[in-house]
Amino acid sequence: MVGIVIATHGSLAEGLRSGVELLVGPQRQLETVGLYHGDEPSEFEEKVSASIRKADEGDGALCLVDMLGGTPSNVVMRLMQSGNVRALAGVNLPAVIQAVFMRESLGLEELVRETFAAQRDAVIDLSLKIPELETPAKQEREQERMEPGDAPPIERGENLTAPGNGEVVLCRVDDRLIHGQVMTSWLNATGANKIMIVDDETSQNPFLKSVFKSAVPANVKVGVFNEAKAVDRLIKGFKPTDRVIVLAKYPQTFLSLVERGASLRQVIIGGMGAREDRSRLYRNISASQDERAALRALVDEGVDVAIQILADDAQVSVSKLL
C-alpha cells in the first residue's frame, strides 16, 4: 500500500488528517509534518524525510503539500530525487480522501493521477451552483423516477434484497442526513447509487431538496420522500441495479415505515447528537424518551438496530443499551 505524507505550513497537515479520520476512520501509513515559525529548514527537511521513510513500506510514498514554491514544496522536490516518491502541490481534503481510498488498489503512478483529478475537481464556486438548483418542476420529474410505478409490487415480508428487486444497502438514522460521513465512508463501503431521504418536512422544502441533490456525486441519485411515499417505494421494491441508502433523522421514521408494511432487516444509528430533550445513550449518541421507545419497538418488530458511525467501526447492539 502506498504511504502518504502531508507536509504544510502550520497545522494544516494535521487538520487535514483529522478531517480524513473523522470521515473515514483512523489511517496507517499516513504521516503529517508542519512547518512553524522558528523551524530550521534543515530540521524540517529531516522531519519530512523521516516521515517518508515511516510511511513507505515498499510501495512508495505520495507527498501532498500546500503550495508550490513554499518550503514544504521545495523540501519535497529535493527528496523526490532519491527514492520512490511522488508529490502534488495544492492539497485539499477531497484529494487526501481520494488518496486514502484508492491507495490499496493502485500503484504510485496511478494514485498520483487519481488524486490529482480529485484535487483539481474539488474546487467549486458555490455561487454558480445556486442557479443550477433544480426548479420544482424538474424536482418532480426526477422524483418520479424513484417513486412507485416502475417496479413490480412485493408482498409484505418479502426480502427487498432478493435478486431482481435491487438492494437496500443501508438504513441509517442521522440528524444531518447527507454529510461527510455518508458521502465518504458509507457511499464507498456500500457502493450505493441511490439515496432515499425520508423526512416529511424536507420533502416539502424545494431548496433543501436541491441542496441535498447537489451534494452527492453525479452517479448517485437522491430522492426525498414523505413517509407515505417512502413506504410505498420500499414495499414495491427497486430496479435490479439499484443499491439504495435510506436516511432518516429519527428512529420514529423507520418505525413508521415498518408499521406501515416495509420490511427492514437492520437500522443503523449514525448520528443523534446532544439536544435538550435527549440524554446520553452511548458515547456521542443521545436519544429522547420517545426515540428510545421507537428503538425498543423496532427491536420488538425483529429489526436489528445497531450503532455504527463509520463503515469500518464495529457495530454496537442497541438492544443491550435500552
- The DSSP symbol for 60 reads -
Amino acid at 59: D
User: What pLDDT does 135 receive?
Assistant: 56
Give yes or no for residue 11 having a pLDDT over 70. yes
**Burial class of residue 189 (count of CB atoms within 10 Å of its CB; 0-12, 13-18, 19+):** middle
The predicted model gives 182-196 an average pLDDT of: 89
Residue 236 confidence class, pLDDT cut points 50, 70, 90: confident
User: What pLDDT does 131 receive?
Assistant: 59
Query: Facing residues of 223 across strands?
Result: 196
106-148 residue pLDDT tens? 899 999 998 999 899 888 888 776 655 555 555 555 555 555 4
Q: What are phi and psi of 261, to 5 degrees?
A: 120, -5
Residue 156 corresponds to which cell in the numbers above? 409484505
Collapse the DSSP code of 171 into the 3-class scheme (helix H, G, I; strand E, B; otherwise coil) and give the result. strand
146-165 residue pLDDT tens? 554 443 333 333 444 444 45
Predicted TM-score (pTM) of the model is 0.68
Q: Which residues contact 285 (CB under 8 A, 6 or more apart)?
A: 269, 271, 272, 307
Most confident of 25-29, 133-137, 250-254: 250-254
Quote the CA–CA distance of 96 and 28 in Å, as a whole number. 13
CB-CB contact of 266 with 304 (8 Å) = yes
The predicted model gives 21-33 an average pLDDT of: 92
Between 104 and 198, residue with greater pLDDT: 198
Quote the CA–CA distance of 25 and 16 in Å, as a whole number. 13
- The DSSP symbol for 130 reads G
Residue 231 corresponds to which cell in the numbers above? 413506504
How is the beta sheet containing 85-89 ordered, strand by strand?
A: 30-35, 3-9, 61-65, 85-89
CATH architecture classification, 130-320: 3-Layer(aba) Sandwich (3.40)
Query: Facing residues of 305 across strands?
Result: 267
Identify the residue whose cell numbers are 527514492: 83
* Stretch(es) of the chain classified as CATH 3.40.50.510: 3-121
Amino acid at 205: N
Q: How distant is the alpha carbon of residue 185 from its chain centre?
A: 4
CATH architecture classification, 3-121: 3-Layer(aba) Sandwich (3.40)
The predicted model gives 230-250 an average pLDDT of: 92
Residue 274 confidence class, pLDDT cut points 50, 70, 90: confident
Average pLDDT value over all residues in the chain: 88
Give yes or no for residue 14 having a pLDDT over 50. yes
Residue 247 corresponds to which cell in the numbers above? 436516511
The predicted model gives 19-40 an average pLDDT of: 93
298-313 residue pLDDT tens? 999 999 999 999 898 9
H-only helix segments in the chain:
12-24, 41-55, 71-79, 93-102, 108-121, 126-129, 136-146, 180-181, 187-190, 200-203, 206-214, 227-236, 251-259, 289-300
